[in-house]
Amino acid sequence: MKRALPVVALSIAGLIPLWRYAPSSGTTTTTEVAAPASTPSSSSSTSSPSSSASSSAAASQVVQGSTVNTSKGAVQVEVTFEGDKISSVRMLQQPNHPQTTAAVPKLIQETLQAQSADIDSVSGATITSDGYVTSLQAALDAKG
């Protein structure tokens, strides 16, 4: 029993990279959804659920950014606005590359914090970061 636990743990640790491995063979279309920037809407919905839900649904607007072709593949974002505030960002297209997969959550988080396209690029995914910012800025411009 003393050996079984370390053997199982090390076996799982060794298999995780195999499960996560995805060769970079071009561009794939994915949908990664960002978490909302904050959760005050859930706390305010407890006080008046019908009025809060209807007002947030009415004020919600979804805008797609332009498709940006990079040397790694196509990048396109979709931005959801609650009034003038960016509430979530979703990747419609992104390169099938490990650095991109790691960079996207960081880019989305920075966008939600900055509430603009004025964000830093992610080290190791500069090309994807530049494509993301360009597509994001196109969505912001389309919003007006």
pLDDT in tens, 31-71: 444 444 443 333 333 334 444 444 445 578 898 989 999 88
Q: What is the pLDDT along the chain (144 residues), one digit of tens a residue?
A: 778 888 888 888 888 877 776 655 554 444 444 444 443 333 333 334 444 444 445 578 898 989 999 888 899 999 999 888 889 999 999 888 888 888 999 999 999 998 988 998 888 888 899 999 999 999 988 887
Residue 10 tokens read as: 């090390």
Which residue in the block uniquely carries the two structure tokens 């597509």?
135
The model carries a pTM of 0.61
Distance from C-alpha of 128 to C-alpha of 116, rounded to nearest angstrom: 17
